[in-house]
Amino acid sequence: MSDNARLVNRPELLGILALAVLLVVILPLSLDVFRLNLVAKYLTYAFVAVGLVICWGYGGILSLGQGVFFGLGGYCMAMFLKLEASSPENTKIQSTPGIPDFMDWNQITSLPFFWKPFHSLTFTVIAIIAVPAFFAFVIGAAMFKRRVGGTYFAIITQAVAAILTILIVGQQGYTGGINGMTDLRTLNGWDIRPDHAKIVLYFFEVACLFGCIFIAQFIRRSKLGRILVAMRDKEDRVRFSGYSVANFKIFAFCVAAIFAAIGGAMFALQVGFMSPSFVGIVPSIEMVIYTAVGGRLSILGAVYGTLLVNFAKTSFSESFPELWLFGLGGLFIAVVLAFPNGLAGIWSDYVQPQVDKLLRKKSPKNGWTDASVADGAPAE
Partner 1 sequence: MLIGHQPKDFLLAVEGLTVSFDGFKAVNDLSFYVEENEIRVIIGPNGAGKTTVLDLICGKTKATSGAIHFRDKDLTKMKENQIVQAGVGRKFQTPSIYDDLTVFENLEISFPRGRSVFGALTFKRDAIVRDRVEEVAEMIFLKDRLNMSAELLSHGQKQWLEIGMLLIQDPDLLMLDEPVAGMSVSERIKTAELLNTIIKNRSVLVIEHDMKFVEDIAHKVTVLHQGQILSEGSMEKVKNDPKVIEVYLGH
> Under the rule (CB under 8 A), what is the footprint of partner 1?
1, 4-5, 218-219, 222-224, 226-227, 229-230, 232-234, 236-245, 247-248, 251, 371-374, 376-379
366 vs 372, beta carbon nearer partner 1:
372
Residues pairing with 191 in the sheet:
186
Nearer to partner 1, 183 or 375 (CB): 375
Say how far apart CA 232 and CA 60 lie, in whole Å: 5
Q: For the CB of residue 257, give the shortest distance to partner 1 in the complex, in Å.
A: 15
CB of 336 to partner 1, least distance (A): 18
Nearer to partner 1, 195 or 233 (CB): 233
The whole-angstrom separation of Cα 325 and Cα 243 is 41
Report, in Å, the least distance between residue 130 CB and partner 1: 18
Consecutive H or E run containing 354: helix 352-362
* Residue 297 Cβ vs partner 1, minimum distance, rounded to whole Å: 10
Residue nearer to partner 1 on the CB measure, 192 or 229: 229
Nearest distance, CB of residue 143 and partner 1, angstroms = 17
Ramachandran region, residue 62 (left: φ > 0; alpha: ψ -120 to 50; beta: rest): beta
Beta bridge partners of 186: 191
**Secondary structure tally for the chain: helices H, strands E:** 17, 2
Beta strands in the chain (DSSP E): 186-187, 190-191
State the nearest-atom distance from the C-beta of 242 to partner 1, in Å. Answer: 4
Name every residue whose Cβ is closer than 8 Å to that of residue 185 and which is 6 or more positions away in sequence: 81, 84, 85, 191, 192, 193
State whether residue 181 is helix, strand or coil: strand
Helix axes 10-20, 195-221, angle to 10 degrees: 170
Quote the least distance from Cβ 10 to partner 1, whole Å: 18
Q: Which is nearer to partner 1, 11 or 173 (CB)?
A: 11
Minimum CB distance to partner 1, residue 65 (Å):
22
Distance, in Å, from the CA atom of 325 to the CA atom of 330, rounded to the nearest integer, reads 9
Distance CA 5, CA 330 (A): 40
Beta carbon of residue 259, minimum distance to partner 1 (angstroms, whole number): 16
Q: Nearer to partner 1 by C-beta: 49 or 219? A: 219
Residue 181: Cβ within 10 Å count = 25
Query: Do residues 310 and 217 make contact, with C-beta atoms less than 8 angstroms apart?
Result: no
Backbone torsions φ then ψ of 102, nearest 5 degrees: -65, -25
Is the Cβ of residue 225 or residue 305 nearer to partner 1 in the bound state? 225
Contacts of 232 (CB under 8 A, 6+ apart): 58, 59, 60, 378
φ, ψ (nearest 5 deg) of residue 25: -110, -60
Decide whether 185 or 239 has the Cβ nearer to partner 1.
239
Residue type, 98: G
**Closest to partner 1 by CB, 58 or 267:** 58
106, burial (CB in 10 Å: exposed 0-12, middle 13-18, buried 19+): middle
